Amino acid sequence: MQSYFLAEKLKYRHTFMKGMTISMPLISVVLAAWLTQSYFAVDSYNWWYMGLYPGFLGILCGIIGGKDKKKKNLTIGSLPCSMKRIWDAKILVGILMSAVSVFFLVILTMAAGWGMEHGMHIIFFLQPSMKAQITAGIVMWLTTLWQIPFCLLLSQKMGIFPMLLVHMGSGTLISVFVSLKPWFALFPGAITSRLMCPILGILPNGLPAMEGQMTYFEEIVGMENLMIGIPASVLWFALFWWGSRKAFCLEMEGKGGL
């Protein structure tokens, strides 16, 4: 499997994937620092997982899947290789790059927050602790892994731009609504925004998770949400991985792939 993974990584040496992995978290941090200084940290994370991160994962999967898709997957279909492992390698590359992007987001947010507080003497109205921000980064990454096989499959079936419209358009809108429901775990796109409520103290709409705020209710900040959401996300990820791999292999069999 290691050779498949390394071979897959080599395909993207001359793409903007690495630059995008750093620049997109930086955009979220810069925008939050510029536009909402008093709520800088929570807005940096909220804007990331509600918009920029799904967009990043969609573009990332478009790059990963598009490299071979441009040639109708004929180049890999002619190789004496396991199509299952090729697909797994694509997902693993996506997992790695998503982890790097979230890592940079957390580091940049904490560094910028420290500089704004101690260098510019800005008073934050809502500032999560370092432990909360690290926890948020780990949970954010873990609960969004399902998007990688999902977006890879959609990019194979409909192309990158329709995939982005489906993933970012309808997915983001639905997630805001469903994340407020008791059955939020049944829709994978709603899980991350729901779990950020007890961790970061921020609602899906970007408002502080406290009494008097629109859409706030006591259950939304309960830590029991983590016990529901994290296992559900892992299950969704496993289902999408298995289903997307099966669909890819069936497609390649039709083209004569091994």
- Give the list of residues 6+ apart from residue 4 with CB closer than 8 angstroms, or none: 81, 82, 85, 86, 88, 89
Pure H helices in the chain: 2-10, 17-35, 40-47, 53-69, 74-77, 83-118, 130-142, 147-158, 160-164, 171-178, 188-200, 224-254
Residue 92 CA to residue 86 CA, distance in Å, equals 10
Nearest of 96, 93, 98 to residue 8 by alpha carbon? 93
Residue 160, φ and ψ in degrees, nearest 5 = -70, -40
Task: Give the pLDDT confidence score for residue 258 in this predicted structure.
Answer: 47
Task: Give the pLDDT confidence score for residue 117 in this predicted structure.
Answer: 75
Which amino acid, residue 99? A
Task: Give the pLDDT confidence score for residue 47 in this predicted structure.
Answer: 92
Task: Give the pLDDT confidence score for residue 76 in this predicted structure.
Answer: 59
Task: Give the pLDDT confidence score for residue 78 in this predicted structure.
Answer: 55
Task: Give the pLDDT confidence score for residue 150 in this predicted structure.
Answer: 94
Q: What is the DSSP string of 66-133?
A: HHHHTTTTHHHHTSSS-HHHHHHHHHHHHHHHHHHHHHHHHHHHHHHHHHHHHTS-PPPSS---HHHH
Instruction: For the chain, list residues with pLDDT below 70.
Output: 67-81, 252-258
Alpha-carbon separation of residue 14 from 10, 106, 186, 203 (angstroms): 9, 26, 39, 39
Domain residue extents for the chain: 2-254
- Give the list of residues 6+ apart from residue 144 with CB closer than 8 angstroms, or none: 49, 53, 54, 57, 98, 192, 233
Task: Give the pLDDT confidence score for residue 257 in this predicted structure.
Answer: 47
Q: Is the dihedral of CA 13, 101, 176, 34 positive or negative?
A: negative
pLDDT in tens, 139-158: 999 999 999 999 999 988 88
Angle in degrees, 0-180, between the axes of helices 171-178 and 188-200, rounded to the nearest 10: 50
The predicted model scores a pTM of 0.90
Residue 65 CA to residue 91 CA, distance in Å, equals 10
Residue 106 CA to residue 99 CA, distance in Å, equals 11
